[in-house]
Structure 1
Amino acid sequence: MDQLPLDQVRTLLAVIDAGTFDAAAEALHVTPSAVSQRVKTLERRTGRVLLTRTKPVRPTESGEVVVRYARRLAALERDALTELGITGGPDPARLPVAVNADSLATWFLPALTRVPRDPPVCFELHREDEAHTAALLRDGQVMAAVTSSAEPVAGCTVRPLGLARYLPLASPPFAARHLSGGPLEELLPDAPVIVFDRRDELQDRFVRALVPGAPGASPVRHLVPTSEGFRDAVTAGLGWGLV
């Protein structure tokens, strides 16, 4: 095998992005059977299963490698066409990026305005916890990720962006009710807490650092899955949290 046929690679990427063979066929203006045949031919050529036939479809570990290759190939093609002064076609460039909610609510959107948009670029943002955004990059769903991991995904590079400072906050009435009358180290692990979602371990790590041996924050936890809502829940006195 000396190369991966471009039409088959692009078809695989279309299936991953669309989620189903039928949707990919519609996007590529071919029949679903043609899409299926291209993917099967690519799998025979590589000698590996590249997709799990679920809804939506998911790339296998080998499929992730091909999807990353396909995204880079598409980006290189757009760059070459731009440098040559040739339009990339009717569809604008698509840039999928994984980003955590707090970055999205603060610095990330202003940063996007600095990205050149000639030719036009469509940003497709995938919101995920900063400890898990790299997984979206690894499986080929995005081309870049804001992540807390310093370890680069295979074929990618890591660039430091800066530091996000979090402060443990509680409203005065909440602090008077739950965090007074004893040492903070004793009271905080039992005080109601605000968490972003079930993957949010920020408050648990803070409690473990403050109280060695503690299992984490209180089991009385309110899930508030937006940065603004999280802040408002702390202000309202539902619980304490790192803001």
Structure 2
Amino acid sequence: MMSLDYKLLDALAKVVELQNFDLAAKHLFITQSAISQRIKSLEESIGQPVIIRSQPIKVTSAGETLLSHYRMVQQLENEMLPSLLPNAPTEPLKVSLAINADSLATWFISALTPILSRYLVELDLIIERESVTLEKLKNGSAIGAVSSIAKPLSGYRSFELGEINYILVASKSFQQKYFANGLTTESLKMAPGISYDHKDDMHTRFISKHFNLAASEYYCHTVRSSEAFVELAKQGVAYCLVPELQIKNELANGELINLCPQKQLIETLYWHSWILVKGVNKKISEEIVSYGQKLLGNS
């Protein structure tokens, strides 16, 4: 039975992480030809390619499987070693989590604060749309993820956190300028909205459902920041769909107004983590689930 050579998996992980064979070789203190040989040996051992040698370097399906396995082994090792060593850890535990921008802007940091206060953790937050964060688990980039997808990947489990209520908002001056006679298909065609990126369909789904307008019939700024969504709306230069949780103060003091109180978009969020998660990583998952369910379950 074939066994995996973790020296080869380490080479694969570094090449994918750094997107450069030379940099990966320097990181591992070997030559570029040596790291190329390690990748080749890994591919020969499983009988198929693990990366696509392009710019950027892409991982094949087999490569994703190997990387996911390697990250899990690293996770177990990181959890095990502190319990074997006599002294407190001198290096932080590296934890990569995939999270959507809206959760990061509203509740996620508060969920992690107890862990960051108690343990030596080096956090890497990977910001992605909630519909694709599971890809980061699949390719081994993250050990946990907030997602709008309920079904877990093989070897993972999911927990329902609760719901985020999205509402359409703008400043009073913006409403008077563009929607003085109400939100209509004609007024929406002329008013600048905001979307996260070209793949973000939340805004387009809302407008399509409630106003029967296709994305090509109106225009949106592209802004990859939830906080910037709110700031642009407050400045009176755009309207946007944002979590009600994020703008409670602005709604209360009148800086922003709900443009259509009878219409909303509700997204259910789930936390996904490895079934065998232990130690600090398990505590991270427990804190996220506990805080998320407490806040979003009652929102």
**Counterpart in the other structure of 1:134:** 134
Q: Are the structure 2 counterparts of residues 235 and 118 from structure 1 closer, same or farther at C-alpha, using a change threshold of 3 Å? A: closer
Contact 2:185-2:213 at 8 Å conserved across structures: no
Q: Report the TM-score when normalising by structure 1.
A: 0.88
State the Cα deviation string for residues 58-115 of structure 1 (Å, max 9, x = none): 2111100000000000011112212223679875332222211122222122222233
- Whole-Å Cα distance in 1 between the matches of residues 37 and 213 of structure 2? 55
Structure 2 counterparts to residues 34-113 of structure 1, below 5 A = 34-85=34-85, 92-113=92-113
* 1:239 corresponding residue in structure 2: 238
Hey, what does 2:12 align to over in structure 1?
12
Aligned pairs for 1:194-213 within 5 A: 194-211=194-211, 213=212
Measure the CA separation in 2 of the matches of 1:128 and 1:226. Answer: 11
What is the number of equivalent residue pairs in this alignment? Answer: 241
Q: CA deviation at 1:216?
A: 4.0
Distance verdict in 2 for CA 1:87–1:131, change over 3 Å = farther
Structure with higher helix content: 2
Higher normalized strand content (fraction of residues)? 2
Q: In structure 2, what is the Cα distance between the partners aligned to 1:33 and 1:88? A: 38
Kindly report structure 1 stretches of 4+ aligned residues shifted beyond 4 Å.
86-91, 116-119
Q: Is the 8 A contact 1:189 1:216 kept in 2?
A: no
* Secondary structure, aligned partner of 2:232: helix
Matches of 2:156 and 2:75, distance apart in 1: 14
Structure 2: distance between partners of 1:125 and 1:238: 30
TM-score by length of 2: 0.72
Aligned residues: CA RMSD: 2.4
CA contact (8 A) 1:194 1:234 kept: no
SS at match of 1:163: strand
Cα distance, 1:118–1:8 mapped onto 2, change above 3 Å? farther
How far 1:242 moved relative to its partner? Answer: 1.1
Q: What amino acid maps onto 1:23 in structure 2?
A: L
Secondary structure of 2:36's counterpart equals helix
Structure 2 partner of 1:175: 175
CA shift digits 1:142-179 (9 cap, x unpaired): 22222212232333222223322222111112212222
Q: Deviations over 1:43-63 (max 9, x none)?
A: 111111001112342211110
Measure, in 2, the Cα distance between the counterparts of 1:174 and 1:7: 59
